Structure 1
Amino acid sequence: MRPLLDRPAAWAWADSFTEGGFVLAGGLVVSAHPLGSRIPGHVPGAAADDRWVTAYRIEDLASGGVLVYAPCLGRWTPALDELLDGATCVLLDGTRYAEGGTDTVVRAPRGRSAAAWHLPVSGTDGSLAALSRHPGPRFVYTHFDSANPLLDPATDARAAVTGAGAEILPDGAELVL
């Protein structure tokens, strides 16, 4: 892939785990923050490492806006709470709405259900409850299972999420920090 990608302009990999992250053209600072060691099933024989579940913090140096992208959360951690401090906008994993709900139709690798891989949105231990500890940022759910009731604007699940101040954006939405 490198020869193909180098045709328009030469590029180099940057390590987002470097202390302080790295600066992209245009003044965005990107830093990676490890949140868990759950190894994906499609990587057989991989060594345990706390970087397998990673959130990204992207700061716009010009505006001061901060976006946090936290995909594939298996559980809410104190490290995630710290990462959200000062965030302007947070994109969260919304794969499953309910613990043990019918929206868990996708099977994870090695036959495990998505329940073992994704924190539910609802419930006392779900991500929506955790958001109440962070009143400042804009919260947007992303990465939905095809049977997730959050995709239907007429469901009680969607009403609960939007009533709590979180959003489900339409395809093609643009976020500005």
Structure 2
Amino acid sequence: MALLPGQHGAPLLVQPDAVDRNEGDVRRVVRDYAGFVGRSLRYLGVVEADLEDAAQEVFIVVHRRLDDFEGRSLLRTWLYGICLRVAHSLRRKAATRREQLMAEPPERGAAPGQDAELQAKEARARLQHLLAELDEEQRSVFVLYEIERMPMKAVAEAMGCPLQTAYYRHQAARRKLLASFQPSQGGES
């Protein structure tokens, strides 16, 4: 999937006067934040089959609304808000869909040397399953703070809630994830 490379180190803040409001700016946002957008959508529960379309929808909104970005928050915060709305819209549409989409095609037997890759894939699937058990606000706060390493103040801005509420949601998410994870660990002994 060429659109969603795992890119890190993208600039976190774009000053309003640094944005020329042209096609080059949109291209730069796509280039610098495609990885962040893809990861965010994935953690927000967008299935792999819809991921590329959802990312494209996010960047269509960026193209239309980049002039509205005033630089009062992190660009990542603004982008995450767009991802949140796109993922929510996709979930609403998926609820009315008749066909059952699979997150990924059934796996074939692993060839020698693919064990580490398979374990990483299983760990990601387990994390996705655990995150899906959280409510949307808790999942978003947890992903932004723990996985994307955004400062809690920026997380609170992205979520449109007070800082203490963001901390509360983070702690509630951690408690739920630990409670969900612990029983499965105990059963394997």
Question: Fold conserved (TM > 0.5)?
Answer: no
Q: Which is richer in helix?
A: 2
Q: Which is richer in strand?
A: 1
Q: TM-score, normalised by structure 1?
A: 0.27
Q: TM-score, normalised by structure 2?
A: 0.26
Q: Does 1 or 2 have the higher relative contact order (CA < 8 Å, sep 6+)?
A: 2
